[in-house]
Amino acid sequence: MYKAFAALLCAALFAACSSAPRQDHTDASVRVSGVRVDLSDTQKVKQVLNQQYKEWNHVQHRMGGTSKKGIDCSGFVYQTYRTRLGVDVPRSTESQSKTGSAVKQKQLRAGDLVFFKTGVFSRHVGMYIDKGDFLHVSTRKGVMISNLEETYWRSAYWKARRIQ
């Protein structure tokens, strides 16, 4: 009984956005777009992120997913950066958290990656839009916009990275 409980506990702890992705490239839109958006153009990046939200709103969470059949947080960042911004980023939350340069929360701008510690071994990532809002994939509600000032996100906030 103890071994079964321990195995179940370990599986639960490692089931997070930062887990190894399943290959799910059934959506042809995973290719890098021919257009590269200037990431310092915050108005354009906000526009792109808001359009991405409209197109993906409520697509459900699926660990390892990268398509509208289901997507996880790092897959959504990966997919958005590749297809909408024309920029390659790593696929995993862990690798994304080491990409680009550190940025202070007070200096966030559209497109910055925001990271959260959501459990002992779990990490979560989203893309900053503006005024505390960020685009991400909730395990319960799918693709959505949340705000950094919400109690949960404020307490789980870890760091931010700027992709150049």
The tokens of 162 are what?
Answer: 């700027």
* Catalytic site includes residue 10: no
Catalytic residue among 10, 17, 61, 73, which?
73
- SS3 assignment, position 111: coil
Catalytic residue among 10, 25, 58, 124, which?
124
What does each C-alpha distance from 108 to 23, 41, 103, 153, 161 come to in angstroms? Answer: 31, 13, 7, 15, 9
Across-strand partners of 66?
71
* DSSP state letter for 137: E
The tokens of 135 are what?
Answer: 């685009």
* Catalytic site includes residue 73: yes
* Catalytic site includes residue 124: yes
Catalytic residue among 17, 25, 61, 136, which?
136
The tokens of 9 are what?
Answer: 């506990």
CA distance 45 to 84: 9
List residues with catalytic annotation.
Answer: 73, 124, 136
